[in-house]
Amino acid sequence: MVGTVLSLLYDEMVRIWCYRWTAIITAIVLFVAGAAYIVRMPDSYDAWAQIYVPRQTSLSAAAANVSLGAEYGSTYVVQKTLLNDQNLGKVAEQLNPALSRLTPADRQAAILGLRNKITIRPDDGDGFTEFHYTASNPAKAYNVVRLLLAQFVSGTQDRAERDFSQADVFLDSQIAIYQRKLNESQQKLIAFHQRYGDTTAVTTDTAEEADAASEVENARAAYTAALARDGVGTPAQAQIAALEDRIAALRLQYTDQYPDVIAARQQLAQLQQRSAQGSKGGDSSAVAVARGQLAAAQARLRRARFRPTLPPQIAAQEADLRRTDDMLRNAYQELLARREAAKMSLAVYGANNSSKFQVTNQPTIPAAPSGPNRLLLLGLAVLVAIAGGIGAAYLRGAITGVFVAPRELEEAFQLPVIGTISWEQTWHTGEVVQGSRHVAVFVTFGVILLVATVLVSVSTSPWLQAIFHQYSTTLFQGFVK
C-alpha cells in the first residue's frame, strides 16, 4: 500500500520533471513580477504612543469583592472605550475637515479604514498599552496617534471623575439605606418585647433547682428527726409524711384532677383524721417548725422548676427579628469601613486624578521607515515562485497527459507493453552537445533575468538606491585612501 502510494508519488514527480522548463520559466516570471512589486512597494512609517494605566483605582478599591466587569486599565477596556465610532469620527474629522460634508456611508468607510489600521498592543504584565498607526506618510501616522492619545486623555479624565463621584454617591446612599433598615429592625424588636414580656429576663437556672431539691431533702430529714425525737413518731405520722411527699411529687406532673392525686389526698385526709383522733395532744413546737420548713422548701423547689413557655410561632418570630437585626448591623458596619477605604484611596490618588495614568511615550514623527520587510517578502516570493513553477508544470503534465510509467500506458490503451528501453543521452551523437547546450542556455537565461530584476529594482526603489549609494560611497572612500 505504502509502496503503491510512493510509486504514484514518484510518477507525479517524474511528470513534473518532464516539464521542468515550464516550471523554471514560470518560477522566474513569477519571481520577477513579485520582486518588481515588492521593490516598488511604498515605505511604511509606524507612529506609536505608550500609556500606563494602573489597574487599581479608587473605584475598584471601594468596590472590592464586588464585580464591576473588566479591569479598569485593561487593553480590552481601552480598546472598547477608545475605538468607538464617536472617537474615531472625531479623529477622522480632525485629520480631514472635509469629512463632515461627506455622506454617512463615506464617513463610515473612513472610520472603518482608520480602525483597521490602528493596533492596540497589550502588555500582559502591567498596565502598559501601546497604540500603533502605520502609514506611508510619516506625518499622517504621527497625527493619528497624537489625536488618538488626546482622545484617550480627555475621555479617561471625564470617566475617572465620574467614577469618583459615583463611588461616593453609591456608598453614601447605601449607608443611608442600611441605617434606616437597622432602625426599623430595632423598633420592631422593642415592640415585640413590650408585647410578650422580657423573655430574656426569665431564665431556667438548673443550679437553683438542684439547690432547692437538696433543701427539700434536708428539711424532710429534719422533720423526720423531729418527729422521732418527739416520740410521737407513729407509723401514722410517717405515712402522712410519705403521702405528702407523694402528692407533692405527683403535683409536679399532674393537675389536681388526676385520679392518683385525688386518691392520695383522700388517703391523706383519712390518715390525718385518724392521727388527730389518736393524739389529741397535738404536735410539739419543734415538729411544727420542721414541718413549716419542709413546706417552705417544697414551695421553693416548685418555683425553681417552673418554666415559662411561649407559643412556638411567637418564638420563631422573635428569632427572625434577631437574625435580621444582626445581619443589618454587620452590613452597615462593613459599608462604613468601605467608605473609609474609599476616602483613603481618594487621598492617595489625588482629587484631580493627576496620577491616574501616565503617557510613557509621546508620539513622534517617525524618521525611518518601519517596513515593509522587503528581504522577507523577497524570500517569500522565491518560495511562491518555486511553488507556482511546480504547480504550472504539474498542471501542464496533467492537461497534456504524458506517460511516465509503463503501467499508465498499459492501463490507457489495454495493449501489452512488452518492454521499457532505458535512454542514454549518448545514444544519439547529437544529444550530448544538445544537453549541455540546454544547461548553458538555462543558466544564461536565469542570470540575465536576475540581473534585469536587480537593475529594475535599483532604478525604481529609493530604498535600494539608498543602500547602493551607501555602499558605493564606502567603496569610493576606500579607493581614495
Partner 1 sequence: MGQMSKVPFTGKVFPADISVDDDTVLVPANTVSNLEKVEERGGVVKRVGSVVTPHFDESRTREDFRVVKRHILSRIDNAPADKSKDPRTILITSASPREGKTTVTLGLAMSFIFERDYSVILIDADMRSPELSRRMGLSGELGLLDFLENEEIGIEDIVYPTSVKGVYAVPAGLPRITAPELITSERMTQLLKTFHDGSQKRIVIIDSGSVLACSETISLAGYAGQIMFVAAKGQTRRKDIDEGLGILHRQAGPIDESRVAMVFNKTDHSRSPVRYSRNS
Q: Does 428 sit near partner 1 (CB under 8 A)?
A: yes
Spatial separation of the C-alpha atoms in residues 384 and 30, rounded to whole Å:
8
CA-CA distance, 330 to 336, in Å (whole number)? 10
Q: How far apart are CA 476 and CA 335, in angstroms?
A: 80
CB under 8 A: which stretch of 36-44, 104-112, 382-390, 412-420 binds partner 1? 412-420
User: Within 10 Å of residue 50's Cβ, how many Cβ atoms?
Assistant: 18
Whole-angstrom Cα distance, residue 51 to residue 131?
9
Nearer CB in complex with partner 1: 318/408: 408
Q: Which of 177, 348, 412, 475 binds partner 1 (CB under 8 A)?
A: 412
Query: Which residue among 402, 440, 447, 452 contacts partner 1 (CB under 8 A)?
Result: 402
Residue from 310, 409, 449, 454 in contact with partner 1 (CB under 8 A)? 409
8 A C-beta contact, residue 388 and residue 29: no
**Can you tell me the distance from the alpha carbon of 155 to that of 145, in angstroms, rounded to the nearest whole number?**
15
Complex with partner 1: residue 10 or 254, whichever CB lies closer: 10
Candidate segments 184-192, 361-369, 424-432, 453-461, binder of partner 1 by CB under 8 A: 424-432
Among 103, 277, 429, 477, binds partner 1 (CB under 8 A): 429
First-to-last C-alpha distance (Å) of the chain: 70
Sign of CA dihedral 298, 299, 300, 304: positive
Q: Which of 21, 332, 403, 468 binds partner 1 (CB under 8 A)?
A: 403
Q: Candidates 109-117, 127-135, 427-435, 473-481: pick the segment binding partner 1 (CB under 8 A).
A: 427-435
Size of the site for partner 1 (CB under 8 A): 31
For residues 102 and 411, what is the distance between their CA atoms, to the nearest angstrom? 68
Nearer to partner 1 by C-beta: 8 or 347? 8
Cα 374 to its chain centre, rounded Å, is 42
Local structure of 311: helix, strand or coil: coil
User: Exactly one of 2, 418, 439, 480 binds partner 1 (CB under 8 A); which one?
Assistant: 418
C-alpha cell at 138: 510619516
CB of 444 to partner 1, least distance (A): 24
Q: Are 466 and 472 in contact (CB under 8 A)?
A: no
Q: What are phi and psi of 98, to 5 degrees?
A: -70, -10
- Cβ proximity to partner 1, 313 vs 429, nearer residue: 429
CB of 431 to partner 1, least distance (A): 9
Q: Nearest distance from residue 14's CB to partner 1, in Å?
A: 7
What mask of x and - would describe binding to partner 1 in positions 11 to 30, judged by CB under 8 A? ---xx-xx------------
When binding is defined by CB under 8 A, the residue of 40, 80, 407, 469 that contacts partner 1 is 407
Residue 219 CA to residue 212 CA, distance in Å, equals 10
Closer Cβ to partner 1, 427 or 471, answer by number: 427
Q: How far is the CB of 440 from partner 1 (least distance, A)?
A: 22
- Cell (9 digits) for 139: 506625518
Min CB(369)–partner 1 separation in Å? 48
- Here the cell at position 60 is 475598584
4 binds partner 1 (CB under 8 A): no
Residue 5 in the binding site for partner 1 (CB under 8 A):
no
Q: Strand 45-52: give its sheet, edge to edge.
A: 118-122, 128-135, 45-52, 358-361
**Shortest distance (Å) from residue 411 CB to partner 1:** 11
Residue 426 interacts with partner 1 (CB under 8 A): yes or no: yes
Among 201, 207, 375, 415, binds partner 1 (CB under 8 A): 415
CA distance 104 to 110: 10
Nearest-angstrom CA–CA distance, 340 and 404 = 88
Of 257 and 414, nearer to partner 1 (C-beta) is: 414
Sign of the C-alpha dihedral computed for residues 404, 408, 409 and 413 taken in this order: negative
Q: Which residues contact 422 (CB under 8 A, 6 or more apart)?
A: none
The least CB distance from residue 118 to partner 1, in Å, is: 55
Please state the closest distance from residue 415 (CB atom) to partner 1, in A: 5
Sole binder of partner 1 in the list 413, 445, 471, 476 (CB under 8 A): 413
37 or 413: CB nearest partner 1: 413
Question: Which cell numbers hold the place of 361?
Answer: 511615550
3-class secondary structure, 118: strand
CA-to-CA distance for 386 and 23, rounded, in angstroms? 8
Q: How far is the CB of 403 from partner 1 (least distance, A)?
A: 6
Residue 7 or 100: which CB sits closer to partner 1? 7
Q: Is 430 in the site for partner 1 (CB under 8 A)?
A: no
Which residues make up the interface to partner 1 (CB under 8 A)? 14-15, 17-18, 400-407, 409-410, 412-424, 426-429
